[in-house]
Structure formats: C-alpha cells, structure tokens
C-alpha cells in the first residue's frame, strides 16, 4: 500500500463530502500501519482528526493542534483515567448532559457503553434504570459498572433488593415491575436494543418491554434508548418527546467475501458438502477469533458434527480442563464437551446462564475458545466481537434472516483497538438491503396498561371504547376496580389482557375442577401432576414438548439441588428428555410456568377469597428452578450451581438459609475470600478454580453499600 497516495484518496473523499467512504479508507490504512508496525505520520493523524476518530490519534507523532483535539475530547467514564471519545460519542454525550431525551440508532462498534458510563460519572444521578434484553447482558453490564461505580452505587440486578441512597438497576424488562412501586423518580431510563419493543422483532416479549417503557417513562426525568440499524421511527406514545438520532459512524471496516456465489447452483447434500469444505478451510486458514452464525439449533448440530470430525484437538490445558469439567457436570457425550477440546464453543439462549458467561470469558482468552457457533443469541446476549464472522445459514429460527438482523450479526466483526477490520465470510446469500423503520404501537391487549386520562390524546376513539369494554368485562369476572388496582400494583406477569381474561373465566366458571390447587404446595411431586397439566393448558403453546412430558420434567426438576444434572438426566431417560431438552425446559419452567402460575394465583385470590389459597411457596420454587433462590441468582453472576453446592456442603456459606439475600451472600463470599474457599472446599479441580476467579473478579470491589 502506498501510504501517501492513499492519504490523497482519503482527502479527496473528504473534500467531496464522502466522509463514510473516507473513514472506511482510513481504517484500512490504519490496519496496514498496524500489520507493518509503521508509526502514524502527522498527515495520517490529521486525517484521523478529520474523520472524527479521535481515540485513534497517536499523540507522539501528531501535530500540536491534533493533540489538542485528543485532550479536548477526553471524558471521565468512571475508570482510573479519562478516555478520549470519538466525535459522535461526544456529540451524543453533550445532548444528554443538556437534558435531552434521545433515541439513538448507531452501529454495533459505536461504543455506546462509554456514553452511559460518562453520563453517570459526570452527573452522579440518584437512580439509573438500564433495561437490557437478556440475563447475559445483565451480568456483562453489571460487571462493567460494578468496577467503576460500586463504591458509590448499589448495583441491583435481581428482584426484592433493598434500595440504597444511589442505585443503578440493570434488568431484563420482566424484572422491572418489582420496583415500579418502590421508585418515586428515575434520573435516566436507558433501554438497550429498544427495537425489541416491536413485535416485528420480538413477538413474545415485546409487550413486556412496551409495558415497562410506559410504566417507567412516567417516573423518568430523561430517557436514552439505543438500537442499531434503524432508519426511522413512527410517531408513537413510547418515544414521544424524544429526539431521534441516526448515526452511520463506523469505527471498524467490514471486508466481505461472498463465497456462496461459488456454489450457488448446488442443493441438498452437495450444497452442504461444499459449505462444509469452505468452513473448514476458513477456520484452518484464519485461526483467529471467529463467530459462526448458524441460524438454527438444527444447523448448530450440523456444524458441531462437522467440526468434531474435522478439527484436531488443541494443545490448551485451559480447554482440556473445561472439557473435563463439562464431562463431569453435564455429559461426556455432549457436543460441547467434544467441541471444547477443539477450541470451539456453542452460544444459544437456552444454556445455563453461568455456562454461557464462562464460554464468553473463554472466548476472550488467548488460549481459550477460538470459534463460537451461535444462533442470534450472540447479538442479543453479549457485547463480544471477533476478527472473523461467518454467515453459515440465512435463517433466524424458522424465519428468513432479514437485513436488520444480518447487519447486526456482521457488526460483531471488528472492534475498536482490537481489530480495525472485521472479515465477513458469507456461506449463504445475504438478505436484500433495505431501510428499517421501527413501528411502535399499543396493542389492543395492552390498552388497559394505559392511564386513560393522562394519555387520552394519544388514543383513538375506537381504542377508548375498547378500554371501557375491557374494564366492564374484567369487572364482571374479578369485581369492580380489581383489575385496575392489580395493574397499578404491577401484579400481573402476563401483558396480554385477553390471556388474563381467559384465566379468569376458567377459574370462575370451572371452579370445582380447580379445588386441589393448594396441593401444589405439597412436597410430594406426585400431588402436582393434574394441577400443572391444567395450568399449562391455559397457555397452549410454547412449552417446547408434549404436556405430559413437560409435567414429568417439572416433577423431576424438584430434585435440582439434591441431584446433579447427570443424575436427573438418568431419571428423565424414560421420557426421552436429553441434555439440550433439559436446558430448554428448565428455562420454560423458571420463566413461563412461573409467570403463568403467578397470574393464576393472583386471580384466584380475588375470585375465591373465601378459600384462602396461596400457592406463592410453590411459585417461588418454580421461578428458581427448584434451586435455593440465592443459588439461582448466583448463576447470573457466573457461579454454577455445582460450585455453589460444593461451597454450601463445606459449610462456608449457608446458601439454603431462608433469610439469605443475594447481596448478603456476596458479602459473605468477599468476607471468606477466594483463598479460604480454595483451602476449605474439597475436590476442587483446576476449572472450578478458574470459575471462582472469574466470579470473584465480578464482585471484588463490592462496597458496604453493595453488600448490605
């Protein structure tokens, strides 16, 4: 590459207003400098300044005026030293500091977390609420903010934690409602990946996010919503009063190889054979950190079998320890156990929370996982990146991969200060490029979530009429004003008013068949069978398996704390439930079944108050997958149940204590310390110790405010 001639081309692009093109040319030039270990000249530094990429400036070789820019754009982000923001980061931060509410569309590599951290560090708000799409992202965000702000803030990620004088709440949307009544004011409400409020992108959970936005926006002084690849937003009540800012500011360059064109005419087994050959070739030639987007669980299986047969085992003692740990605690025959020996991991939305986090940590290690095979969970769950991204399949579950999701996936290629260039290998045709308008609207089933008098101007006459009709219908079932009262208290877990009505009708008109509801509080799982069957039939779809097998799974999951996963799998063999099913069904129990049972319990108390039945004890067990509550919560912090059991059995922390809260447990862990646990717990293997170090790294700076 001729550096001076390239600089001339970049300058020409800037002179004619083609800044996006110029920035891409410059990033490729910076990559060349890094590969050849060439220092930036004053000219290159000046072009960095011209394109707004201030963090890339080399102050040792820059002209004094460019060095001034590097210093001028430094900001406190809560870390030991200030960080230089790029031009667009600084512009967004200034708007927030001016008190504006913003809805931002920015690329994956934009560096949005720096803006959040800088806002907290500079303004010291009292209450910050951050809504993230997944548990994995909850923990990642907690770890980042914990290291910076735990001396001043209580970082809250679980339900029913006592508030401090200053709080940062980090939740998936479903957990918000535990705190709606406890918060009188929110200084800033941050919604990450807010496009998921549209059912076009998140069919099942969009209503919960819309409901959270409605509830929390009323309490919020300022709002900051974030998403990638949105071109416009329709006029709606959820972003009313917010300024929409669309940014196309890339900090890395994506280099694409359309390999699918070489076998476009092939189908069936011939197509699979050629794709497989190319995949193996890429991984052999480019043994760098690589994300492989598989699209579906079925395609993950195909890739797993291919890589188990084609990839050699790697000489990494860390991965050998990981593979042994998986064999012991899950199964020696599991695909992940075999793949990990070959430097390959699997990421999807169904694995145990701690296991997903551990794999992401291993992906960041030099001698850890090199290749991560994933569904779309990798774009929803974590802020990880890779030098290479491979698109194996152009599906997203049962649907075709759309342009929005495709851009989001390939946006994982490259990262500031790690990889100037992200290499994108397309083994399947990309979707047609298109603009994405985000349409947010209030579903009819959520009309009763709206405070009619406050938002009357945002509703049509037809919607107002439906509200009054729904209120009358629910008043007949529950009693006058009961539904409105329960909604104000955020008592319902399900956002669909039609589903609430269906439950109420079933309980009121078929009361005799529900007489045994209290048996769910029994310690004998044989007493649960008919009732669980009746409950899941209230929501016919989405249990992931036939009703009868799901009920058997719940009954055996009752032993989740006393038995190991392999021991439970042995008991589940007769109903043909394997390890992958186990992950999926356990999530359905702790989330969907717990939510449905909660609403059944709430409604039955008002329909049959004379019975004085309360199945809350059973619901608590279900919501924690029959683990002690703190053990279930600790998995979100990266501590697997297997290690928790060892620590509990050694008498170090009583994780079954009824009064134990998560933050008290964390305080106990810190008081005992890692070295004492290593000394007192028997039979810890090398990977147990690796996990414990990772866990302690995420809580180590906990202050008195955070361990109360």
The per-residue pLDDT for 1 is: 76
pLDDT at 455 over 80: no
Q: Which residues of 426-441 are buried (b: 16+ CB within 10 A; e: fewer)?
A: bbbebbeeeebebebe
Q: What is the pLDDT of residues 7-63, one digit of tens each?
A: 999 999 999 999 999 999 999 999 999 999 999 999 999 999 999 999 999 999 999
Which whole number is the average pLDDT over 630-645?
Answer: 95
Task: Answer whether 172's CB lies under 8 Å from 132's CB.
Answer: yes
Which whole number is the average pLDDT over 301-326?
Answer: 96
In whole angstroms, what is the distance from residue 395 CA to residue 405 CA? 10
**CATH number where 107 lies:** 3.40.50.300
In whole angstroms, what is the distance from residue 92 CA to residue 222 CA? 14
Count of beta carbons in the 10 Å neighbourhood of residue 290: 25
pLDDT, averaged across the chain = 91
Strands 83-84 and 74-75: antiparallel
pLDDT at 417 over 80: no
Helices and strands (H, E) in the chain, number of each type:
29, 19
Query: Is the residue at 290 inside a domain?
Result: yes
Q: What is the pLDDT of residues 130-140, one digit of tens each?
A: 999 888 788 88
> Is the sign of the CA dihedral 421, 426, 431, 433 positive or negative?
positive
pLDDT at 690 over 50: yes
Query: Is the residue at 76 inside a domain?
Result: no
Reported confidence tier of residue 474, pLDDT bands at 50, 70, 90 = confident
Q: What's the domain range around 475? A: 442-491
Q: The tokens 């009763």 sit on which residue? A: 448
In whole angstroms, what is the distance from residue 450 CA to residue 487 CA? 10
Task: Answer whether 125's CB lies under 8 Å from 170's CB.
Answer: no
The per-residue pLDDT for 19 is: 96
Which of 330-334, 471-475, 483-487 has the highest mean predicted lDDT (pLDDT)? 330-334
Strands 421-426 and 388-391: parallel
In whole angstroms, what is the distance from residue 393 CA to residue 430 CA? 9
Alpha helices in 73-111 (DSSP H): 87-97
Q: Which residues contact 126 (CB under 8 A, 6 or more apart)?
A: 165, 166, 167, 185, 187
H or E element, residue 381: helix 377-381
Q: How far is CA 25 from CA 292, 384, 399, in A?
A: 26, 25, 35
Q: Which residues contact 681 (CB under 8 A, 6 or more apart)?
A: 646, 647, 650, 652
Reported confidence tier of residue 496, pLDDT bands at 50, 70, 90 = confident
The per-residue pLDDT for 79 is: 84
Q: The tokens 């989740």 sit on which residue? A: 560
The per-residue pLDDT for 393 is: 95
Are residues 334 and 317 located together in one domain of the fold?
yes
Are residues 397 and 271 located together in one domain of the fold?
yes
- Of 246, 274, 307, which closes a domain? 246
Q: What is the pLDDT of residues 171-229, one digit of tens each?
A: 988 888 888 888 899 999 999 999 999 998 888 889 889 989 988 999 999 999 999 99
In whole angstroms, what is the distance from residue 251 CA to residue 511 CA? 61
The per-residue pLDDT for 382 is: 62
DSSP labels for 113-134?
A: HHHHHHHHHHH--SEEEEE-SS
- Of 398, 417, 437, which closes a domain? 437
Tokens of 441: 């609207």
Query: Is the residue at 154 inside a domain?
Result: yes
Are residues 268 and 370 located together in one domain of the fold?
yes
Strands 371-374 and 290-293: parallel
Closest by CA position to 486, among listed 606, 620, 594 = 606
> Is the sign of the CA dihedral 68, 70, 71, 75 positive or negative?
positive
pLDDT at 381 over 60: no
The per-residue pLDDT for 450 is: 66
Strands 127-131 and 167-171: parallel
Are residues 374 and 513 located together in one domain of the fold?
no
Task: Answer whether 592's CB lies under 8 Å from 622's CB.
Answer: no
Tokens of 176: 């918000």
Q: What is the pLDDT of residues 613-633, one digit of tens each?
A: 999 999 999 999 999 999 999
Task: Answer whether 61's CB lies under 8 Å from 40's CB.
Answer: yes
In whole angstroms, what is the distance from residue 382 CA to residue 136 CA? 6
In whole angstroms, what is the distance from residue 230 CA to residue 436 CA? 5
Say how far residue 543 (Cα) sits from the centre of its chain: 21
In whole angstroms, what is the distance from residue 41 CA to residue 60 CA? 10
Tokens of 92: 């967004």
Are residues 313 and 373 located together in one domain of the fold?
yes
The per-residue pLDDT for 704 is: 37
pLDDT at 519 over 80: yes
Reported confidence tier of residue 451, pLDDT bands at 50, 70, 90 = low
Reported confidence tier of residue 702, pLDDT bands at 50, 70, 90 = very low
Are residues 461 and 586 located together in one domain of the fold?
no
Alpha helices in 293-352 (DSSP H): 297-310, 317-329, 335-340
Are residues 619 and 605 located together in one domain of the fold?
yes
Query: Is the residue at 78 inside a domain?
Result: no
Count of beta carbons in the 10 Å neighbourhood of residue 587: 19
- Of 246, 265, 295, which closes a domain? 246
pLDDT at 457 over 70: no
In whole angstroms, what is the distance from residue 479 CA to residue 239 CA? 34
In whole angstroms, what is the distance from residue 493 CA to residue 621 CA? 16
Q: The tokens 């053990």 sit on which residue? A: 631
Query: Is the residue at 406 inside a domain?
Result: yes
Are residues 475 and 404 located together in one domain of the fold?
no
The per-residue pLDDT for 485 is: 84
Are residues 185 and 289 located together in one domain of the fold?
no
pLDDT at 365 over 50: yes
Q: What angle do CA 486, 490, 492 make, to 5 degrees?
A: 75
The per-residue pLDDT for 706 is: 38
Are residues 566 and 593 located together in one domain of the fold?
yes
Length of the chain: 708
Query: Is the residue at 364 inside a domain?
Result: yes
The per-residue pLDDT for 278 is: 96
Query: Is the residue at 75 inside a domain?
Result: no
Reported confidence tier of residue 257, pLDDT bands at 50, 70, 90 = very high
The per-residue pLDDT for 186 is: 97
Query: Is the residue at 412 inside a domain?
Result: yes
In whole angstroms, what is the distance from residue 131 CA to residue 175 CA? 9
Q: What is the percent of the chain with per-residue pLDDT over 90, rounded to a whole number?
A: 74
Are residues 397 and 485 located together in one domain of the fold?
no
Could you give the number of structural domains in the chain?
Answer: 6
Which whole number is the average pLDDT over 518-528?
Answer: 96
The residues pairing with 169 across neighbouring beta strands, listed in sequence order, are 129, 156
Are residues 134 and 228 located together in one domain of the fold?
yes
């Amino acid at each position: 590459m001729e550096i001076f001639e390239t600089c001339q081309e970049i300058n020409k692009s800037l002179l004619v207003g083609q800044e996006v093109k110029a920035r891409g040319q410059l990033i490729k030039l910076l990559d060349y400098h890094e590969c050849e270990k060439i220092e930036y000249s004053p000219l290159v530094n000046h072009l960095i300044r011209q394109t707004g990429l201030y963090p890339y400036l080399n102050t040792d070789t820059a002209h004094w005026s460019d060095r001034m820019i590097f210093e001028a754009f430094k900001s406190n982000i809560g870390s030991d030293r200030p960080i230089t923001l790029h031009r667009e980061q600084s512009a967004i931060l200034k708007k927030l500091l001016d008190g504006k509410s913003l809805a931002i569309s920015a690329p994956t590599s934009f560096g949005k977390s720096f803006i959040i951290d800088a806002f907290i560090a500079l303004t010291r708000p009292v209450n910050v609420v951050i809504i993230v799409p997944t548990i994995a992202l909850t923990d990642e965000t907690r770890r980042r903010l914990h290291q910076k702000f735990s001396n001043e803030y209580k970082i809250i990620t679980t339900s029913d934690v006592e508030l401090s004088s200053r709080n940062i709440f980090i939740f998936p949307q479903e957990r918000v409602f535990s705190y709606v009544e406890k918060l009188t004011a929110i200084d800033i409400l941050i919604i990450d990946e807010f496009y998921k409020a549209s059912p076009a992108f998140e069919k099942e959970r969009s209503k919960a996010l819309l409901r959270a936005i409605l509830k929390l926006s009323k309490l919020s002084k300022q709002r900051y919503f974030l998403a990638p690849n949105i071109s416009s937003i329709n006029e709606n009540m959820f972003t009313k009063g917010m300024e929409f800012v669309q940014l196309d500011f890339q900090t890395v360059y994506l280099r694409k190889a359309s390999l699918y064109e070489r076998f476009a005419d092939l189908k069936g087994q011939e197509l699979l054979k050629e794709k497989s050959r190319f995949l193996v070739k890429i991984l052999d030639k480019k043994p760098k950190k690589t994300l492989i987007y598989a699209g579906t669980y079925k395609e993950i299986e195909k890739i797993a079998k291919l890589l188990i047969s084609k990839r050699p085992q790697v000489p990494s003692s860390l991965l050998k320890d990981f593979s042994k740990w998986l064999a012991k605690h899950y199964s020696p025959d599991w695909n992940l156990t075999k793949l990990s020996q070959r430097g390959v991991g699997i990421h999807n939305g169904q694995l145990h929370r701690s296991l997903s986090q551990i794999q992401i940590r291993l992906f960041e290690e030099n001698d850890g996982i090199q290749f991560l095979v994933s569904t779309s969970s990798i774009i929803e769950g974590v802020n990880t990146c890779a030098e290479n991204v491979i698109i194996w399949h152009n599906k997203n579950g049962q649907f075709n991969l759309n342009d929005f999701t495709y851009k989001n996936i390939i946006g994982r290629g490259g990262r500031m200060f790690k990889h100037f260039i992200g290499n994108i290998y397309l083994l399947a045709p990309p979707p047609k490029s298109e603009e994405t308008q985000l349409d947010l609207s209030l579903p009819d089933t959520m009309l009763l979530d709206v405070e009619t008098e406050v938002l009357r101007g945002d509703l049509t006459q037809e919607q107002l009429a439906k509200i009054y009709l729904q209120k009358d219908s629910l008043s007949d079932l529950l009693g006058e004003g009961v539904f409105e009262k329960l909604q104000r208290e955020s008592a319902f877990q399900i956002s669909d008013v039609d589903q609430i009505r269906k439950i109420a009708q079933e309980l009121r008109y078929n009361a005799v068949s529900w007489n045994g509801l209290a048996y769910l509080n029994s310690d004998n799982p044989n007493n649960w069978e008919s009732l669980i069957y009746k409950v899941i039939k209230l929501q016919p779809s989405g249990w992931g398996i036939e009703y009868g097998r799901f009920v058997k799974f719940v009954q055996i999951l009752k032993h989740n704390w006393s038995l190991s996963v392999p021991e439970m799998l042995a008991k589940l063999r007769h109903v043909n439930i394997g390890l992958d099913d186990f992950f999926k069904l356990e999530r359905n129990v702790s989330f969907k079944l717990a939510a449905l049972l909660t609403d059944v319990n709430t409604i039955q108390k008002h329909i049959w108050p004379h019975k004085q039945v309360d199945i809350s004890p059973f619901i608590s067990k279900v919501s924690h997958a029959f683990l002690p509550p703190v053990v279930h919560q600790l998995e979100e912090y990266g501590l697997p149940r297997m290690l928790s059991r060892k620590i509990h059995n050694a008498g170090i922390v009583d994780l079954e204590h009824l009064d134990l809260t998560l933050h008290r447990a964390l305080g106990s862990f810190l008081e005992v310390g890692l070295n004492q646990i290593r000394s007192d717990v028997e039979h810890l293997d090398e990977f147990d110790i690796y996990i414990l170090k990772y866990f302690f790294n995420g809580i180590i700076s906990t202050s008195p405010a955070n361990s109360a």
